[in-house]
Amino acid sequence: MADVPTKIELQEAIFSHLAKCSPEYKYALNIEVLEVKPIEETTDEKCKYRARLDFFCPRGRDDCSGSALREARDQVRKGFEREEILSGQLKEVELSEGEPFFDNVENLRVLRACLSFEV
C-alpha cells in the first residue's frame, strides 16, 4: 500500500500549491491540516482517509474575507483535480464545501473543509 501523507506533508503541499497560484496567498492566509485518519477499509486493500483542513486569515488581517477563503479552497480543489498537489500519490480526492465563519475564541475568520482520498 502507498504511503499516507502526514498532516505536515499535506499542509506543506497545499500551501506550496497556493503560493504558486498566487504569491499573495503566502501572506494573506494560513492552512492548517488538523488530522489525517483512516475512514474506511475495503477488501481490495485500498484505504480511504480523511483530513480536516482549516483555511484562515492571520491575526490582524481585517481585509481577509470569506470569499478569499472560498477562492483558496477552490484553488486547492483544482490543484488536486489536476494532480498538481502530491501528484500521483492520492486517488479519488474530494474536498467538501464549507462556509466561512468567525471564530470568536480565536478571533479569526475560518473556512473548515474535509478532504477525503485513497492511497
CATH code of the domain covering residue 54: 3.30.2000.30
Classify burial at 6, counting beta carbons within 10 Å of its beta carbon; exposed 0-12, middle 13-18, buried 19 or more: exposed
pLDDT band at 8 (very low <50, low <70, confident <90, very high): very high
Residue 103 lies inside a defined structural domain of this protein? yes
Residue 1 lies inside a defined structural domain of this protein? no
Q: Determine the Cα–Cα distance for residues 66 and 5; give it in Å rounded to an integer.
A: 28
Q: Which residue in this structure is represented by grid cell 477552490?
A: 74
Dihedral over alpha carbons 81, 119, 50, 35 (to 10 degrees): -110
For 18-45, how does the pLDDT look when each residue is reduced to its tens digit (9 = 90+)?
888 877 666 667 888 998 988 866 555 6
Residue 2 lies inside a defined structural domain of this protein? no
Residue 57 lies inside a defined structural domain of this protein? yes
Domain of 16? 7-118
Residue 85 lies inside a defined structural domain of this protein? yes
For 90-100, how does the pLDDT look when each residue is reduced to its tens digit (9 = 90+)?
989 999 988 88
Whats the size of the chain, residue-wise?
119
Determine the straight-line distance between the first and last CA of the chain, rounded to whole angstroms: 7
Mean pLDDT of 70-97: 91
Q: Which amino acid is at 48?
A: K
Strands (E), the chain: 30-41, 47-56, 91-95, 101-103, 108-118
Least confident of 7-11, 66-70, 85-89: 66-70
Instruction: Give the chain's domain count.
Output: 1
Which of 33, 38, 26 has its CA nearest to residue 10?
A: 33
Query: Which parts of the chain fold into alpha helices (H)?
Result: 7-21, 25-28, 66-81
